Structure 1
Amino acid sequence: MSGVNIGQRPENRTQKAIKVMWTAIWLAFLSAPVDDLLHGGHARGVRVLGWGALAVFVVWYMLLVFRTGRGDRPGVVLGSLAVLAAESTALALTLGRSWLVLLVYVSIASGAALPPRLARWTIPGASALMAALALVVPDGRAFLGGLLVPALLGGFAMTGVRELIRTTIALREARATVAQLAANEERLRLARDLHDLLGHSLSLITLKSELAGRMLPDQPDKAAQQVADIEQVSRQALVDVREAVTGYRRARIAPELAGAKVALSAAGVVAELPGDPDPTGLDEESEAALAWALREAVTNVVRHSGARRCVVELLRRQTLDGAVLELSVEDDGSGGPAPVNAPGNGLTGLAERLAKVGGALEAAGSHRGFRLVARVPAGVATDIGSGA
């Protein structure tokens, strides 16, 4: 059974049912009015009217809370809350102190359905109305202490939930916008690079093709030379395109760090990552090896460690063998990755990839978790950054 993400409207009957169930759980506190109707000694006609009024109240309350964040006009919501407050007041005055609890739901509905600038007035207002009724209704003071605090806390807690939903929706929309802008930027970059790569070559091919066509009847030797030149330019253009495609597919540290942040956050792991990594002076193969090491380490943290915190550091160090760029990934989980025996997979394949570029891999567990360190040769020793 699928759930409903916070800030997302239910899209099918199952999700609607789940949201209704979660909202209806809090109706358990209506046990006092229900008990009053069952055992309060009221006349039959009064009980029938009481059950009907309670059903109307519950439906009205559920509609208000269920539509949280839908953008209804505040005037409509205020009118609905006024109807709820009026009904609660009438029931408390006519049926007794057990019905004072309805004002708690009015306060909660205020926090859920109204923006904070209005809810900060309606919540104390509903609580003050309940306090006034408790002083008027027989024996109502005995219930006041147990209802006033839930009315205030519940109401203001719902304002926080409303703002959380609003922020979540805004964040989801912002992420979608950023993803769209990134895709558009990548398309522009690809178009620009392809234009730079192929524009000159295709123009030259077109020009030489026209020359060959004009020379063909009278100067076949020169036309053949132009055709040979066309073949050479075409082959070079093909090589350039292949190199460009290889560059697009090569793993890089900055994108992998961004992906690591998303993966760790999705797994509920607190991530501490380098603020602005800049692997200057690192050749493409060495950078790709470090990027693959980062991906493998983060995958192990997410899948196997059960960690709550993961620290990633990227530093330049000076060793006896020269400068190295060191990537370390450390978590506070229960252990390392599952053993991998197949070459080219897991830590074994990672060590082989690093060895090809003159690097090394260290991976070991400790009482605090698991730590992976990957090193590759680098240029002048300067500190790049660490987890913050």
Structure 2
Amino acid sequence: MSGVGIGQRPENRRQRVVKSLWTGIWLVYLSAPVGDLLHGGHGAVARVLGWTGLGAFVVWYMVLVFRTGRGEHNRLVLGSLGVLAAQSTLLALTLGREWLVLFVYVSIASGAALPLRAARWTIPAASALMAAIAFAVPGGRAYLAGLLIPALLGGFAMTGVRELVRTTIALREARATVAQLAANEERLRLARDLHDLLGHSLSLITLKSELAGRMLPDHPEKAARQVADIEQVSRQALVDVREAVTGYRRPRLAAELAGARAALTAAGIVAAIPGPVDLDGVPEDSESALAWALREAVTNVLRHSGARRCTVEVLRRRTLDGPVLELSVEDDGCGGQGAVPATVPGNGLTGLTERLEKAGGTLEAGGSRSGFRITARVPVTDVGSGS
């Protein structure tokens, strides 16, 4: 910011210069007291005291305007305003009606330095004090009509400007907070993507590496095929990571079904996986969430289950909330008694839950009769019959 708002301290040299110029412009209305000191016919002592009082008033006014706005107690500001009001009263009573204009500055300082809940009392109070002094000094009534309205309007105008500045600052801070939250959400999305992508691919690479190692002494040709598969999986993982980083990757359920079949077969697990799936009426985000769920479920089977068989089903069902597409992955491994207890969801299941919730779906994970089962559901827009 090149400038600084009312009710804020300047934070650098440029802001101090801008605020000094802006505040100094309004001191031009002190021409009446200055003219009174120059041409009012006062004695030497009165002129010295007048110049001293006017200088003290301006300095105190500038300090008040510059130093308020960062959490100072209202009592300190009220005390400073009281000093200004006392100076204005003393100068007006001793030097004449031309000095009543000082109360306008007291009113404006109240609006600039105090919150509205306090300024709504101090501005009328300063105006009322000016009116009382105007009746006490010779010729003051003639000046009152020209000063009372500026004091009230100027003071309350400053409260409006001050609140506008505070609102603008709050909006800027809110916008920065929203941007920070968006950045955090993007980092979380990237972390989930990398976890799902690399977890699956590295598990498959590990399995194929172990298999190639067992084949190498007696079956070098089979081992070479496994090494070739490892190279292919590694290249695909690199492509997936690049796409995830750029934000363009949307996994497809058909591709994940084929990849799950290959991964489970390579691990020596019997895979019962359906063929092509009807995805009519399934939103892209919902399909993507199911594909991630399948990938994470198969990765957990490969890593933790010790299973010999894994069954994957994709069915359309009717629920009380409407039609859904349901994906279930069930293995005959150790389930909740294995390395990853069902009661303690890992980062993968937590990330899946968040993905599915964003797509309007749900995730269930827990032990089954044969082992462990993960069920993911997403809403669909058609009314296909349940299976």
Q: Report the TM-score, using the length of structure 2 for normalisation.
A: 0.61
Matched residue type, 2:3? V
Matched residue type, 1:11? E
Aligned residue pairs total 254
- Are 1:78 and 2:78 an aligned pair? yes
Deviations 1:356-383 (CA, angstroms, capped at 9, x unpaired): xxxxxxxxxxxxxxxxxxxxxxxxxxxx
Deviations 1:27-61 (CA, angstroms, capped at 9, x unpaired): 10000000011111111121111111111101111
- The corresponding residue for 1:52 is 52
Residue 68 of structure 1 deviates from its aligned partner by: 4.2
- Whole-angstrom CA distance in 1 between matches of 2:249 and 2:162: 43
- The corresponding residue for 1:25 is 25
- The corresponding residue for 2:296 is none
Q: Report SS of the residue matched to 1:138.
A: coil
Preserved contact between residue 100 and residue 130 of structure 2 (Cα < 8 Å): yes
- Whole-angstrom CA distance in 1 between matches of 2:160 and 2:16: 22
Residue 114 of structure 1 deviates from its aligned partner by: 1.0
Q: Report SS of the residue matched to 1:237.
A: helix
Percentage of matched positions with identical amino acids:
79
Change (3 A) 1:182 1:101: same
Deviations 1:315-346 (CA, angstroms, capped at 9, x unpaired): xxxxxxxxxxxxxxxxxxxxxxxxxxxxxxxx
Q: Report SS of the residue matched to 1:72.
A: coil
Matched residue type, 1:204? L
Residue 249 of structure 1 deviates from its aligned partner by: 10
Residue 122 of structure 1 deviates from its aligned partner by: 0.7
Preserved contact between residue 65 and residue 109 of structure 1 (Cα < 8 Å): yes
- Are 1:112 and 2:112 an aligned pair? yes
Deviations 1:231-277 (CA, angstroms, capped at 9, x unpaired): 12122223333444554499xxxxxxxxxxxxxxxxxxxxxxxxxxx
Residue 165 of structure 1 deviates from its aligned partner by: 1.7
RMSD: 2.5
- Greater Rg, structure 1 or structure 2? 2
Consecutive unaligned residues of structure 2, counting only runs of 5 or more, are: 251-280, 285-387
Q: How does 1:291-370 map to 2 (within 5 A)?
A: none
Preserved contact between residue 9 and residue 67 of structure 2 (Cα < 8 Å): no
Q: How does 1:59-98 map to 2 (within 5 A)?
A: 59-98=59-98
Matched residue type, 1:236? Q
- The corresponding residue for 2:320 is none
- Whole-angstrom CA distance in 1 between matches of 2:225 and 2:41: 111
Preserved contact between residue 69 and residue 166 of structure 1 (Cα < 8 Å): no
- Are 1:3 and 2:2 an aligned pair? yes
- Are 1:40 and 2:51 an aligned pair? no
- Whole-angstrom CA distance in 1 between matches of 2:65 and 2:226: 77
- Whole-angstrom CA distance in 2 between matches of 1:247 and 1:110: 53
- The corresponding residue for 2:226 is 226
Residue 97 of structure 1 deviates from its aligned partner by: 0.3
- Whole-angstrom CA distance in 2 between matches of 1:118 and 1:135: 27
Change (3 A) 1:56 1:5: closer
- Whole-angstrom CA distance in 2 between matches of 1:52 and 1:43: 14
Q: Report the TM-score, using the length of structure 1 for normalisation.
A: 0.61
- Whole-angstrom CA distance in 1 between matches of 2:52 and 2:58: 10
- The corresponding residue for 2:205 is 205
Residue 133 of structure 1 deviates from its aligned partner by: 0.7
Change (3 A) 1:79 1:6: closer
- Whole-angstrom CA distance in 1 between matches of 2:4 and 2:46: 42
Preserved contact between residue 92 and residue 133 of structure 1 (Cα < 8 Å): yes
- Whole-angstrom CA distance in 2 between matches of 1:108 and 1:115: 12
